[in-house]
Amino acid sequence: MASLTLKETLVRLRDGRLNARELCERCLARANKLSSLNMYISRTERGARQQAERADQCLHKSGQEAKKALEGIPVAFKDNLCTRDAPTTCASRMLLDYRPPYDATMVSRMLDSGAVLVGKTNLDEFAMGSGSTDSIVGPVKNPWTLLFQKTPHRYRFRANQSGCCQLETSPKLSEDEVKVRRRGLHTSASRLSQSSTVLEPADQSGSGLQRLSFEDDSDWLVTGGSSGGSAAAVASGTALVAFGSDTGGSTRNPASYCGVVGLKPTYGLLSRHGLIPLVNSMDVPGIVTKTVEDAAIVLNTVAGHDVQDSTTVTDPYQPVQLDDRFSLEGVHIGIPKVKYSSSCCL
């Protein structure tokens, strides 16, 4: 189930092969099992179950009544988007107990479309960062860390006497050390590649996935940032959609690190109302999904003018239509070669 795209999940919810409460419980279970990744600052389990039950009631209604666009879909929001029913901390001690009196427009439009809020995701404090490492609750760890156990070398940066950073590698690990790193992990490279970059548990219920642990504090990969928690939430299968914010790459950067799709819509296309600002003239709510098609579905749900945000475009929104005939056949992608040395300066 964790490998399903948003579009595939919507089809299953509407034809009765899947119900919203079951989907919600599995996402919450995965979030609990993968809590060591530190993706979430808070999880809204009670409210999520109530929203999922209401979604099931709507989905099971007979007749031709139109279903809401995202009925029953688990969604997570970066913790700088205001939520009335959950704290909004911006990963800062300053706002640790702050509970907004209103929902951000992105939150209200997603909930009005039937989505289920499963939690608020971790970030760099006040979204000022590019690694999701500077948070009052600690750094976000990339779900691909599960594959890092297969890497025989450990990489780190250390400042030299002149203040420059050096890339260092520790000696190759022994077989016993590698086995220790892999202990308790149920994800292999082949399984990950077969599940659309989403981590799959040993069994479909999620009960076979043990809590992730690390032998030491350096044994993990960064998610990028500052919306690292949102990217990790989608990559790990704990949410089908997540919202971040993007000022200079804060949604696209972690999406690329975590192997998912990150979209920064054109400024003014999405409302910033309720998004705690970093740079007002550049901030944009960002969308994180598994596929481009999923991102278009979410964009079409939340885009459009908002009277609460004078910078939103007033012209009627024209929904994005993707061409099914689009193909990457014949497209060539160039990847520059990068050489690292022990004296490399960043």
DSSP per residue over 83-111, as a string?
Answer: -TTS---TT-GGGTT---SS--HHHHHHH
Examine the residue annotation and report whether 78 is marked as an active-site residue of this protein: yes
Residue in 38, 81, 57 with CA at minimum distance from that of residue 233: 38
Helix and strand totals (H; E) in the chain: 10, 8
141 exposed, middle or buried (CB, 10 Å; 0-12, 13-18, 19+)?
buried
- Report d(CA 39, CA 193) in Å as an integer: 21
pLDDT of res. 342? 55
Q: Pick the catalytic residue from 227, 250, 271, 290.
A: 250
Reported pTM:
0.79
| Tens-level pLDDT at each residue, the chain (346 residues) | 678 999 999 999 999 999 999 999 999 999 999 999 999 999 999 999 999 999 999 998 865 566 799 999 999 999 999 999 999 999 999 999 999 999 999 999 999 999 999 999 999 999 999 999 999 999 999 998 876 554 444 444 343 443 333 333 444 445 554 444 444 333 333 333 333 333 333 333 333 344 555 545 567 899 999 999 999 999 999 999 999 999 999 999 999 999 999 999 999 999 999 999 999 999 999 999 999 999 999 999 999 999 999 999 999 999 999 988 888 889 998 988 877 655 544 4
For 23-121, list the strands marked E by DSSP.
40-43, 74-78, 116-121
pLDDT of res. 147? 66
Alpha-carbon 60 to chain mean position: 29
pLDDT of res. 217? 59
Query: How distant, in Å, are the alpha carbons of 107, 182, 205 from that of 241?
Result: 12, 29, 21
Encoded tokens for 4 = 């399903």
Q: Pick the catalytic residue from 78, 141, 264, 290.
A: 78
Examine the residue annotation and report whether 271 is marked as an active-site residue of this protein: no
Query: Residue 69: which residues within 8 A CB-CB, separation 6 or more?
Result: 113, 114, 297, 300, 301
Tally Cβ neighbours within 10 Å of residue 1.
19
Q: Pick the catalytic residue from 226, 227, 245, 271.
A: 226
Query: Residue 312: which residues within 8 A CB-CB, separation 6 or more?
Result: 268, 269, 270, 271, 272, 304, 305, 306
The C-alpha angle 144, 13, 285, rounded to 5 degrees, equals 55
pLDDT of res. 318? 95
Examine the residue annotation and report whether 226 is marked as an active-site residue of this protein: yes
Residue 165 — φ and ψ, nearest 5°? -90, 140
